[in-house]
Amino acid sequence: MFHVKLPRQDAMARQADEHLVTHKVKLPRKIVEHPFRQVAKRVMVALFLLAATALIVYADHDGYNDNSDGSVDLLDAFYYATVTLSTTGYGDITPVSDAARLTNIFVITPLRVLFLIVLVGTTLEVLTERTREEWRLTRWRSTLRDHTVVVGFGTKGRSAIQTVCVTGLKKEQVVVVDPSSKVIDAATADGYAGIIGDATRSEVLKRAEVHKARQIIIATQRDDTAVLVTLTARQLNKAAKIVVAVREEENAPLLKQSGADAVITSASAAGRLLGLSVLSPAAGMVMEDLIQQGSGLDIVERPVVKAEVGRRPRETDDLVVSVVRGHRVLGYDDPAVGTLELTDRLITIVRATPGTQVAPDVRPLRQD
């Protein structure tokens, strides 16, 4: 059974908690009523049935016989309702008149069945919940292929996966890994599957089926954690595209050596955008528009179509920024580009439309 403690803000407390941490998979589900409210409602229904039965018996108390004193008062009516609905049936109070017996047949017996359904239904629901959840997990694992794993669902991780989903990725193909159960609850509420646990441990990443993933986004809070997660993920999956966010630029080479395909320095990138906005607020707005997929202008990567073969980058219908040829990323004005080839890929700026998608099967390439 896999479950996890909440992480502490203090680093030492977090390290101490890691010894107590296990892991749990959470699948997205529809928002349902709180369990205590569901139980409270069922208890209220049971009490209502009990009171209704007692009042029905008391209304016709002359048709019942109590072996102790021969008469049935209000307390005896509630006692009879209790032992009758619970199917205990001591037999000390019995219906003797035809009207009382008919009432038992057509009224009290259906109430007894309904009372048992409420109680037994609650018990069965609790007992079958775990079996149902295990079945969902087994089915989920068997169908999960070429998905995206997001390690860290803070501001960076959430923004990254929202951007990818805008380009066509389904939420069912996203698995979030985070040590905080509250964060995973938020992820599942958004429609993503979640794994509670420390992603530096291979067991946790295996729960996320990382060995079958197509791409991995690592957006942890600490750079040293990002390095360990990258090493572990690359060991489990040699072919996946791994993109990592770090705070310090000096850690980027270490992450590339650890197996990352692309490393984004979040602090430096934000600083450059701030500096650009100071020099030219309009240019800053354009850059922010470009990196925000699904609105305004988008920067996308697409293959060269047959009609474009033999043309120069500026002769295409789209605004070409770079040409991906083999393992090189060339500027649109690089003399080495010459004319476009069928095996090239173009990085272009286009007007955002619902059909605009970034090709999911292309690994980021280093620029020469």
pLDDT at 41: 77
Res. 362: pLDDT tops 70: no
Question: What pLDDT, in 10s, does the model give residues 23-39?
Answer: 667 666 554 555 567 67
Neighbours of 259 (CB within 10 A): 19
Question: What pLDDT, in 10s, does the model give residues 219-268?
Answer: 998 999 999 999 999 999 999 999 999 888 888 899 999 999 989 887 77
Q: Which residues pair with 185 in a beta bridge?
A: none
SS3 readout for 222-275? CHHHHHHHHHHHHHHCCCCEEEEEECCHHHHHHHHHHCCCEEEEHHHHHHHHHH
Residue pair 217/233 in contact (Cβ under 8 Å)? The answer is no
Instruction: Give the C-alpha separation, 195 to 26, whole Å.
Output: 6
Residue with tokens 């102790």: 68
Question: What pLDDT, in 10s, does the model give residues 311-358?
Answer: 888 888 888 889 999 888 888 888 888 889 999 999 888 887 655 554
Instruction: Give the C-alpha separation, 131 to 280, whole Å.
Output: 59
Question: What pLDDT, in 10s, does the model give residues 8-23?
Answer: 444 444 444 444 445 6
- Tell me which range, 135-139, 215-219, 246-250, is most confidently predicted by mean pLDDT: 215-219
pLDDT at 264: 87
pLDDT at 280: 85
1: confidence class by pLDDT, cuts 50, 70, 90: very low
pLDDT at 169: 84
260, 261, 265, 262: which is closest to 250 by C-alpha?
Answer: 265
Question: What pLDDT, in 10s, does the model give residues 73-113?
Answer: 888 888 888 888 877 777 778 787 878 878 887 888 888 78
pLDDT at 204: 92
Q: Is the dihedral of CA 20, 25, 29, 35 positive or negative?
A: negative
210: confidence class by pLDDT, cuts 50, 70, 90: very high
For residues 54-63, one letter each, b for 16 or more C-beta atoms within 10 angstroms of the residue's C-beta and e for the rest, the string is bebbbebbeb
Residue pair 232/265 in contact (Cβ under 8 Å)? The answer is no
Q: Using the 8-state DSSP alphabet, how is residue 106 labeled? A: I
Question: What pLDDT, in 10s, does the model give residues 31-76?
Answer: 455 556 767 777 788 888 888 888 998 888 888 888 877 788 888 8
Question: What pLDDT, in 10s, does the model give residues 267-303?
Answer: 777 777 778 788 888 887 887 777 776 667 778 888 9
Instruction: Give the C-alpha separation, 176 to 219, whole Å.
Output: 11
Percent of the chain with pLDDT over 70: 82
